[in-house]
Structure 1
Amino acid sequence: MTNKQAPPFPDTTTLLQYLYEDLSRISEVASRDILLHTADRDLSSPSKAPLRGVEAAQAHEDALIAATGGSIVMDVQSISANEHFGSVMGVLRASKTGREDLAIPFCGVWRFEGGWAVEHWENAIDPGQFALWFQEQ
């Protein structure tokens, strides 16, 4: 971890609550060197490499938001976190004109160092459905 400043929140549960209210906040809670394993990582062979760095993670989240016209909502059902790991479970909801609304269960898994998010695994119950919905116009 290369962040030199104090962590942004008193604990990782608060950090995750803040982030899942608005995905555009990832650069506020992530280490500069964060690794982000996307939900569609295993849909190709070889698997996609993780995104590296806070700029890539922010661009990824911004693209998800843009693909939904800002309609994406992470409907969080539970958060479990300690100083090292966290998991967030819920339903990702989004809509697009001319498309059936998306409602797909997710589980985000996080690793923390010094109060900062340093690694994140996106997990959707059906990664293929997730990827297809975001790819289709």
Structure 2
Amino acid sequence: MTANAEHPNARILRAVYADLTKIADYAAPDILVHLADRTPIDPRPCRGATAVLAHEQALIRMTHGTLVMDVQQIAANDHFGAVLGTLRATRPQPVGVPFCGLWRFVDGCIVEHWENAADPALLSGILAPRSGPAPL
């Protein structure tokens, strides 16, 4: 790979952030996602490709389809990826929250993801409440 070529895992992350429902195309069946509003007392991980896809679809629904993951930087290698950007939506009310997504890969497949929002409480408070794990 040349110095200017994008790592294949960076291309995967770019595709996922362009369309969150694409995560299922790149996720291991037993993927583990650590939600942004986790706490040491209530870590609430999301387990399995089906549950992770449902989590992303719920986030899109909660924003009435206005969700945009505005990616500013991606770094990736064979094992890890990091994405910096801003989560934006206009509904149910305007929001812009910086995020840092951390990812772990095995053989080009996403096996683990840590959602990190600069202000998870603000984000959770803006999005419509739902049963189960908090939105992000």
Name the residue aligned to 2:87: 92
Taking only aligned residues, the RMSD between alpha carbons, in angstroms, comes to 1.6
Matched, 1:48 2:50: no
Residues 10-68 of structure 1: CA deviation (Å, up to 9, x unaligned) = 710110011110111110011101000011112xx622331110001000000000001
In the alignment, structure 1 residue 14 sits paired with structure 2 residue 11: yes
Q: In the alignment, what sits opposite 2:134?
A: none
- Tell whether 2:107 aligns with 1:77: no
What is the aligned length?
124
Aligned to 2:52: 57
Q: Which runs of 5+ in 2 are unaligned?
A: 1-6, 131-136
Distance 2:91 2:44 in 1: 28
The aligned residue for residue 27 of structure 2 is 30
Paired amino acid for 1:95: T
Amino acid at match of 2:72: Q
2:101 pairs with 1:104 = no
Q: Residues of 2 paired with 1:135 and 1:129: CA distance?
A: 12
Identity of aligned residues (%): 47
Task: Give the match for residue 135 of structure 1.
Answer: 128
Deviation at 1:95, TM superposition (A): 1.4
Aligned partner of 2:77: which letter? N
CA distance in 1, matches of 2:28, 2:21: 15
Of residues 87, 111, 117 in structure 1, which corresponds to 2:110? 117
The runs of at least 4 aligned residues of structure 1 exceeding 2 Å deviation read: none
Partner residue, 2:4: none
Residue identity in the other structure for 2:27: A
Q: Deviations over 1:47-92 (max 9, x none)?
A: 2331110001000000000001111000000000001000000000
Deviation at 1:136, TM superposition (A): 5.4
Structure 2 distance, partners of 1:119, 1:95, is: 29
